[in-house]
Amino acid sequence: MISTTGTVCPHCGWPDGGEPFQVLSRHTTATGRTEWTRCGCGSLQVRVVEGGGMCVVSRSGPASGSAAARSGTASR
């Protein structure tokens, strides 16, 4: 998985602060929660949500069968 501090998905350009395409799971922590999400391009993301906001702390590339991977936008 690729660690990230950017503000958009490097594979499709979707804003990290935008709603994820799909929330896979949410887990409460002592300081907030951790969410596993999937971006519209198929990239898996780990989001940490705390009182100060949300941050994508890790992400994968798009799934090999995703539309972004097939169209070549995954290599942006």
Q: What is the pLDDT of residues 20-30, one digit of tens each?
A: 788 999 999 99
Q: What phi, psi does 68 have (nearest 5°)?
A: -65, -40
pLDDT of residue 67: 54
What mean pLDDT do residues 60-66 have?
A: 77
Please give the torsion angle defined by the CA atoms of residues 38, 40, 62 and 57, in that order, rounded to the nearest 10 degrees: -50
Q: Which residue's entry shows tokens 């936008």?
A: 73
Quick one: pLDDT band at residue 5, thresholds 50, 70, 90? low
The one-letter amino acid code at 4 reads T
pLDDT of residue 7: 82
Burial of 60 (0-12, 13-18, 19+ CB in 10 A): middle
- How far is 32 from 70, CA to CA, in rounded Å? 36
Least confidently predicted of 15-24, 33-42, 48-57: 15-24
